[in-house]
Structures are given as structure tokens and as C-alpha cells.
Amino acid sequence: MGVWKNRTLLVGILGVLLLCHMDQEAGASSFKDVPAQGMVTMVDLGAKACIPCKMMTPILEKLEKSYKGKAAIIFIDVWKHRDQAKKFGIRAIPTQIFYDKDGKEIYRHVGFMSEAAIITQLQKMGVD
């Protein structure tokens, strides 16, 4: 049990360190429409080079198509958009944040999140 606890701590620390040393694109990024107004929104904050984030890419692409018009599925690369990591209070990546139709944060998860877990959360929020 202690080994897993130490690994979890290490992953969290590495995530924070990576956020501290990431490159920022030129110019300030703008995500004014996040979360999407009037629609349940899942925001996945990660990075294209992060292994768990890479594992989630095909899941997010599939869900984005499946839930088009029903829920917004948004990915933000916080290595390219550092200001968004701060804006959303990200301490480790990937982090998924679920918002209701009014833009209120309902649920937050840190780490890899399976397709089934995402679908379950969306269903809890009334999205079919």
C-alpha cells in the first residue's frame, strides 16, 4: 500500500513540476467561452506530450463527436496556455472539470479518466 501512495505522490509532484517548466506560446490565449454557456461542459486540461493525456485523446475525440450539440467536450493544452492552468487552478495534469449548464463547477477529477467514467458523470448531469 505504501508503494502506491508514494507513486501517487510522485505523479502529483511531477505534474506540478511540469506545469512550472512548460513553454508558453507567444501572445495571451483566450478561452472566454469556457465553460460553454447554456450547455454541460467537460474541460480536460492536460498536454499533448503527457502520457495519460495522450491516452485520453482518442476518448475525448470520440466523446466530442458523440455529444455534439448535447455537451461541450473541450481540451486545453496547459503547456501551451499557461494562463489557463492558473485560471482553472490546475495542480497536476490531466484534470477534468465538469460544469453544469449555468457554468457552475459540479465535479473535478485529477488523472486519467476512462470513457465510461466520463459518460457516467455526464449522465449524472442529465446528458444522454
Decide: residue 17, CB within 10 A, 0-12 exposed, 13-18 middle, 19+ buried.
exposed
Please indicate whether residue 53 is annotated as part of the active site. Answer: yes
Catalytic residue among 45, 53, 73, 97: 53
C-alpha cell of 89?
A: 487552478
3-state SS, 18-48, equals HHHCCCCCCCCCCCCCCCCCCCEEEEEEECC
Residue 20 is among the residues annotated as catalytic for this protein: no
The CA distance from 66 to 48, in Å, is 22
Residue among 43, 50, 78, 122 flagged as catalytic: 50
> Which residues, in sequence order, are CB contacts of 96 under 8 Å at separation 6+?
42, 43, 44, 45, 108, 109, 110, 113, 118
Q: What is the CA radius of gyration of the chain?
A: 15
Residues designated catalytic: 50, 53
